[in-house]
């Protein structure tokens, strides 16, 4: 569903959706026991998320970035117990 939305968009919203997709695909790779793929996708997602801090489209992007970065650190450390990042509404 995000893929369909992303391909129709232009400008800043397109890149924002790409960031979310990279993060989701990264988590998918991790769940499929592909840490290398997970790390690559999560790094892309984090880079693309930076311009949308601290909030974008009523999403708390600062919290999302923190949670995704924590997962990335855990995956790189070889930790198995990882909490999936959640999208939370922005307090702003």
Q: Is residue 51 part of a domain?
A: yes
Helix (H, G, I), strand (E, B) or coil at 1: coil
Q: Indicate which CATH number applies to the domain containing 48.
A: 1.20.58
Q: Is residue 10 part of a domain?
A: yes
Domain encompassing residue 47: 2-76
pLDDT at 28 over 70: yes
What pTM was computed for the model? 0.90
- Report, as an integer, the average pLDDT of 1-24: 84
**Whole-angstrom distance, CA of residue 33 vs CA of residue 11:** 34
Tokens of 3: 């893929």
Q: Is residue 66 part of a domain?
A: yes
The pLDDT value recorded for residue 2 is 59
pLDDT at 40 over 90: yes
- Report, as an integer, the average pLDDT of 42-70: 97
Q: Is residue 50 part of a domain?
A: yes
How many CB atoms are located within 10 Å of the residue 3 CB? 11
- Report, as an integer, the average pLDDT of 80-88: 88
**Whole-angstrom distance, CA of residue 3 vs CA of residue 6:** 5
Least confident of 18-32, 38-52, 75-89: 75-89
User: Tokens 């509404």 label which residue?
Assistant: 89
Q: Is residue 53 part of a domain?
A: yes
**Whole-angstrom distance, CA of residue 64 vs CA of residue 59:** 8
């Amino acid at each position: 569903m995000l893929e369909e939305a992303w391909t129709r968009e232009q400008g800043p919203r397109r890149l924002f959706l790409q960031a979310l997709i990279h993060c989701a695909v990264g988590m998918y790779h991790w769940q499929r026991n592909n840490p290398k793929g997970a790390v690559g996708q999560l790094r892309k997602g984090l880079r693309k998320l930076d311009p949308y801090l601290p909030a974008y489209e009523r999403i708390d992007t600062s919290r999302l970035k923190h949670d995704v970065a924590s997962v990335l650190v855990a995956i790189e450390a070889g930790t198995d117990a990882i909490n999936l990042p959640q999208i939370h509404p922005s307090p702003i």
